[in-house]
Structure 1
Amino acid sequence: MSKFQELISQDKPVLVDFFAEWCGPCKMQAPILEDLKKRVNNQATIIKIDVDKNQSVAAKYGIRSVPTLMIFKNGEIKWKQSGVFPAEELERLIKENS
């Protein structure tokens, strides 16, 4: 099992931010995710995946634009959307999928 598979197979929600270094909106999402980490503490895991360095993972999950955010729980996709999202909305989505 890959490290990524292990991470997304947790019993709590895992928010994955698929991003790229060259992506402007991704840079806008980064501080929002820092804020979100403080809001959700240990209720969820938040990880960032660089699509340029992890092309096989990006391809497996059909990532065609960045940023794309996904919520996994127990290895299942619970939510997936491209674009920049406010911390409040992401916090709500994490709680809905807890």
Structure 2
Amino acid sequence: MSKFGELIDVEIPVLLSFYSQTETEEVSTIQQNLHDVASTLGNKVKVINIDVAKNKDLTEALRIKTLPTLIIYKHGEMKWRQSGEQQTSAIISKIEEYI
């Protein structure tokens, strides 16, 4: 199994956040939101930040066109995908649907 497959094929929801280091203000906001999500949900979710410049193959395979893009996986299956900035409370609510 690929490393990516191992990351997403778990019991708890996995939130992937695709971002670019070049968008510094937006990255800062997203990172804070994701930190708040991880702090609130603790070990009920795995949050993974993916820099598109460093992960071009994965970015292309998942057809990431808009940043930021958030994707939730559970048991290796994509459950939700959204592009654009999201409020912390909205992200938490969406993840809780899969806990």
Give a deviation string over 1:4-57, Cα, whole Å, max 9, x none.
Answer: 211111111000000110024232111111111110001110000111110110
Letter in 2 for 1:75: G
1:78-89 mapped onto 2 (5 Å cutoff) = 78-89=79-90
Report what 1:17 is aligned to. Answer: 17
- Give 5+ residue unaligned stretches, structure 1: none
- Number of residue pairs aligned between Structure 1 and Structure 2: 98
Report what 1:65 is aligned to. Answer: 66
Letter in 2 for 1:11: E
CA RMSD of aligned residues (A): 1.0
TM-score normalised by length of structure 1? 0.94
Tell me the distance in 1 between the aligned counterparts of 2:58 and 2:11.
21
Tell me the distance in 2 between the aligned counterparts of 1:25 and 1:65.
13
Tell me the distance in 1 between the aligned counterparts of 2:27 and 2:82.
13
Tell me the distance in 2 between the aligned counterparts of 1:88 and 1:77.
20
- Give 5+ residue unaligned stretches, structure 2: none
Offset of 1:87 from its aligned partner? 1.2
Tell me the distance in 1 between the aligned counterparts of 2:9 and 2:87.
25
Write out the 4+ residue segments of structure 1 that deviate beyond 4 Å after TM superposition: none
